[in-house]
């Protein structure tokens, strides 16, 4: 079952789910809108393959940028963006991320992204550029997170590599 705005407020009021900071326009009809944070990772073009068995190879994949005011995503570029809000998922909710339709209508996209039950931290989301450059301001609502209940609490809540992330996070091997 997908949570409605009323259900989401109930989860928040009962402190079963949390979003910090929580803005007046965060809770939507059937999900929550999350904002562009203050960090991103741009992929560095490199002809050498990344050896996923070599942890130091990841240093050659990204260039970290601070987002002071805004940034431009260029055509077909992929960037990893830190979400401003810290979320804490209970053991019976799963999140499904979608880009807000305004950005999709500009050709921007995100790959299918699931937020696991038990996750806590600031999400890192990949955004894919469309056919034209787009300037996006820090703090802009761009991600729609739909929350769905599981039939029962998960037995093993998420505790993987990206749990409790507080900054933009690239691949961890």
Average pLDDT of the chain, as a whole number: 94
CATH code where residue 22 lies: 2.70.40.10
What CA–CA distance (Å, rounded) separates 119 from 26?
19
What is the tally of structural domains in the chain? 1
For residue 170, the tally of other CB atoms under 10 A from its CB is 14
- The whole-number pLDDT of residue 156 equals 93
Where does the pLDDT of residue 59 fall: very low under 50, low under 70, confident under 90, or very high at 90 and above?
confident
pLDDT tens for residues 89-125?
Answer: 999 999 999 999 999 999 999 999 999 999 999 999 9
Query: Is position 162 within any domain?
Result: no
- Weakest-pLDDT range from 75-79, 88-92, 126-130, 154-158: 154-158
Q: Which domain, by its residues, includes 35?
A: 5-45+61-149
CA angle 121, 122, 123 (to 5 degrees): 110
pTM of the model: 0.92
Specify whether the CB–CB gap between 100 and 144 falls below 8 A: yes
Query: Is position 26 within any domain?
Result: yes
pLDDT tens for residues 67-92?
Answer: 999 999 999 999 999 999 999 999 99
Query: Is position 154 within any domain?
Result: no
Query: Is position 166 within any domain?
Result: no
What CA–CA distance (Å, rounded) separates 36 from 7?
25
């Amino acid at each position: 079952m997908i949570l409605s705005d009323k259900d989401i407020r109930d989860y928040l009021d009962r402190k079963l789910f949390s979003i910090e900071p929580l803005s007046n326009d965060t809770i939507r009809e059937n999900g929550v809108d999350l904002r562009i944070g203050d960090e991103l990772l741009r992929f560095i073009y490199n002809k050498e393959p990344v050896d996923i068995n070599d942890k130091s190879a990841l240093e050659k994949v990204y260039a970290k940028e601070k987002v002071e005011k805004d940034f431009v995503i260029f055509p077909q570029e992929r960037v990893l963006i830190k979400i401003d809000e810290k979320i804490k998922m209970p053991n019976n909710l799963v999140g499904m991320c979608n880009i807000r339709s305004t950005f999709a209508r500009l050709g921007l996209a995100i790959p299918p992204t699931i937020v696991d039950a038990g996750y806590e931290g600031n999400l890192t989301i990949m955004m894919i550029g469309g056919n034209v450059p787009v300037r996006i301001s820090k703090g802009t609502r761009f991600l729609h997170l739909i929350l769905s209940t599981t039939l029962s609490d998960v037995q093993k809540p998420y505790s993987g590599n990206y749990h409790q992330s507080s900054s933009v996070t690239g691949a961890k091997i």
